[in-house]
């Protein structure tokens, strides 16, 4: 796999049919969506929740997500806000597993690391 330019990775190239490219932001979006699907995660840090985004049509889920893709290997750094009352280590393990599985199944890339920084705790009941 090779980088086409700074923000796009060539996943598949076949002269007879064409090529498949994926932007780094798409990998970050997959990571952000997978993270917010885990129970106990309130939101991505510096971002609004999935329900609000769907209501207003906001499509960028990349705030609080940094991805580094090199030679088909992805390292992900997440900044999340947790919901009060959830076990942080257990919830973070679930996030790591979900993000890794989502990226690998959707892109075919290999995830080496999913690093999580807890940026806050939401104490409000939704």
CATH of the domain at 73: 3.30.70.1350
Name the residue among 110, 19, 126 with its Cα closest to residue 71: 110
pLDDT for 6 equals 54
Q: In this structure, what DSSP letter does residue 38 have?
A: S
pTM for this model (two decimals): 0.79
Q: Domain tally for the chain?
A: 1
What residue ranges of the chain have pLDDT lower than 50?
Answer: 2, 4-5, 47, 55-59
pLDDT for 117 equals 94
Name the residue among 90, 99, 121 with its Cα closest to residue 37: 99
What CA–CA distance (Å, rounded) separates 126 from 42? Answer: 10
What CA–CA distance (Å, rounded) separates 33 from 21? Answer: 20
Contact predicate 78/99, CB 8 Å: yes
For residue 6, give its domain range: 2-122
Give the chain's largest Cα–Cα span: 55
């Amino acid at each position: 796999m090779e980088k086409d330019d700074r923000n796009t990775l060539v996943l598949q190239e076949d002269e007879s049919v064409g090529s498949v490219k994926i932007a780094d932001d798409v990998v970050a979006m997959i990571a952000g969506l997978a993270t917010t699907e885990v129970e106990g995660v309130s939101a991505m840090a510096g971002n609004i929740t999935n329900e609000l985004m769907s209501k207003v049509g906001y499509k960028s889920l990349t705030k609080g997500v940094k991805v580094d893709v090199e030679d088909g290997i992805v390292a992900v750094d997440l900044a999340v806000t947790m919901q009060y009352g959830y076990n942080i280590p257990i919830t973070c393990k679930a996030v790591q597993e979900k993000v890794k599985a989502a990226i690998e199944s959707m892109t075919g890339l290999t995830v080496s690391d999913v690093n999580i920084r807890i940026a806050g705790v939401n104490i409000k009941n939704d």
